[in-house]
Every structure is written in structure tokens, then in C-alpha cells.
Amino acid sequence: MKSKLSLCCKGIVWLAMFGVLLPLIVLLIWCFTERWAWPELVPQVFSLRGLREVLGSQALMILHSSILLSATAALIAVVVGLMTARAIVFYQFPGQKLLLFASMLPLIVPTTVFGMGIHLLLIRVGLSDTVPGVILVHVICALPYTVSIMTDSTRAIGKKLEEQARVLGAGSLRAFWSVSMPALMPAIFSALAMAYITSFSQYFLTLLIGGGNVRTFTVIMVPYLQNGDRTLAAGYTTLFLLITVLVFLVFRKIVQRFYPCLEQNRE
């Protein structure tokens, strides 16, 4: 009975992995395919046209600034999320629940509605068509994820360890940095990853707020996806995925460099 259950569980895991990997494999094949008509299982014509066009396009030229913009937005979103989480978990003040609800609004309010509204505001304050304006909008979109992740983890960790550090002679900031931060690192990493991907994949808001002056990888990529060329679309998508995975690995390395206990605790 146990072995049947184990076999069933393994089967489900393999099925799930297959469900995730199969589309990626198909995507990779399309990068080198010129023609693959239904219902053929194997492409009829292979070529390197897609790769040549992607690697030679202007999308690569703005890659580093795109990554920098999204990384900045992710970092700000995590810092704001962490501070909001600490306020919600450790303090009592009027409007606390409203604050928590408000942090989720970017998920509830349709992007176009939000975009139109904030565009007007940013025009008034002179942040429209600027990089800071785009970063601000990306931060707002990422906040629901960072606030909810950091609130849950802050609540789980509590402030007991910080209290202990305080009585041992650490100031409040030192206590947080020395004992709470290491415990929060896995959650910070998750929040950073979610915020980064939210920012990096933003198209409509970047186009609207950036006004064409702020060009990110996604803004350059989407028109190519929309022109119906599957080879090009696959190439850009694969590049998008690769960049995202690389950035995640860099984040992880940075975290491990300062907090080696992250890996030890997993063991």
C-alpha cells in the first residue's frame, strides 16, 4: 500500500515537472526553427535567423539599464515592504487594517485605470517620461507582493530575538541587523525575486509613464512578439527567461555572501 502511494506521489511530481519543462523545451526548439507546422512533432526547417536577429537587435543594448531599473525598483519595494510589515506587525495605530488593504490595491485596481490616474499625477509633479517615475510605478506594482511576504515572515519571526539582542546591549538598528535580518533573508530573497519579475515584465505602465523615453527590454521586446513571428518571439522569450534566472542567481550569491547561514539553515 505504501509503495503504491509512493509511486503515485512520484508520478504526480514527474507529471508536474513535465508540465513545466515541456513548454520550455518547445520554446527552446522554436528558437532554432524556421518552420514547424501542425501536426508535425518535429520542425520541418531549422535556422539561426531568430538568434541572429535577437542578438543583433537593440533589445540587447538596453539590457543592462533594464536590469538596473528593475533591480532598483525591487530593492525599494522590498525596503518599503519590510518597513510596512514591521509597522503592521509590531505597532498598533489607527488605520492599520486600511494600510494593509491599501498595499493590496495595485492587485485589485485594473492596470489601465491605475496607469491613467498615476500618469496625470506624475505629469503634475514632473516625473512623467523619466526613469524615477517609471521606478516609482514599478515599486507600487510590486508592493502587494513584498508587503504580504514580509508581513507573514515578520509575524512568524516576531521580535523576541531582537528583544534579547537589545537587553544584551545592541541598539534597535543593530539588533534588527544582527538577528532579525538573517532570519528574514529567505523571505527577503522571495520578495526581491517577485518584485524584480513584476518590474522587469511591466510593459503597459512602462510605455505609458516612460512615454517612449524610458525603454526597457520588455518595451522593446513586445512589438516583436506581436508581429506573429514565432521564431523571433521564442528567441526574445528565451532571452528574457535566461536574464531573469541569471539575475536571481546573482541575488542569491549576494545574499549567501553576507548570510552563509541561509544555506546552513536549509540543511
Partner 1 sequence: MELQQLVPELEIRDLIVSMHKKEILHKINLTVYKGEMISLLGPSGCGKSTLLKTVAGLLEAQGGDVCIEGSSVLNMPTEKRGAVIVFQDLRLFPNLSVEGNIEFSLRLKGISRSQREQRVRELLEIVKLPGMQKRKINELSGGQMQRVALARALAAQPRLLLLDEPFSSLDEQLREQMRSFVQELHQRTQTTIVMVTHDREEALSMSDRIALMIDGQIVQVDVPEKIYRRPINKRVSDYFGGCSYLSGQVRNGVFYHPALQMPVSGYADGDWVVRILPGMVHLCEDGNWKVTKVCYQGESSLVTLQREDSILTARVMEPPGVGKMCGVRVDAEELLLLKQEPCVHTK
Residues at the contact surface with partner 1, assessed by CB under 8 A = 160-161, 163-171, 174-175, 178-179, 182-183, 259, 261, 264-265
Question: Residue 187 CB, nearest distance to partner 1 (Å)?
Answer: 14
Question: Residue 188 CB, nearest distance to partner 1 (Å)?
Answer: 14
CA-CA distance, 261 to 49, in Å (whole number)?
46
Give the three-class secondary structure for 213.
coil
Question: Residue 183 CB, nearest distance to partner 1 (Å)?
Answer: 7
Chain-centre distance of CA 234, in angstroms? 20
> Cβ closer to partner 1: 33 or 180?
180
> Cβ closer to partner 1: 112 or 164?
164
> Cβ closer to partner 1: 175 or 191?
175
Residue 66 grid coordinates: 533594464
> Cβ closer to partner 1: 200 or 259?
259
Residue 215 grid coordinates: 525603454
> Cβ closer to partner 1: 157 or 225?
157
Question: Residue 257 CB, nearest distance to partner 1 (Å)?
Answer: 15
Burial of 240 by CB count in 10 Å (0-12 exposed, 13-18 middle, 19+ buried)?
middle
Burial of 249 by CB count in 10 Å (0-12 exposed, 13-18 middle, 19+ buried)?
exposed
CA-CA distance, 123 to 218, in Å (whole number)?
23
Question: Residue 10 CB, nearest distance to partner 1 (Å)?
Answer: 30
CA-CA distance, 239 to 56, in Å (whole number)?
13
- Cis check: omega of the bond before 186, within 30 degrees of 0: no
> Cβ closer to partner 1: 56 or 171?
171
> Cβ closer to partner 1: 166 or 252?
166
Question: Are 141 and 151 in contact, with CB atoms under 8 Å apart?
Answer: no
Question: Residue 159 CB, nearest distance to partner 1 (Å)?
Answer: 9
* Beta-bridge partners for 46: 33
Question: Residue 261 CB, nearest distance to partner 1 (Å)?
Answer: 4
CB atoms within 10 A of CB 183: 18
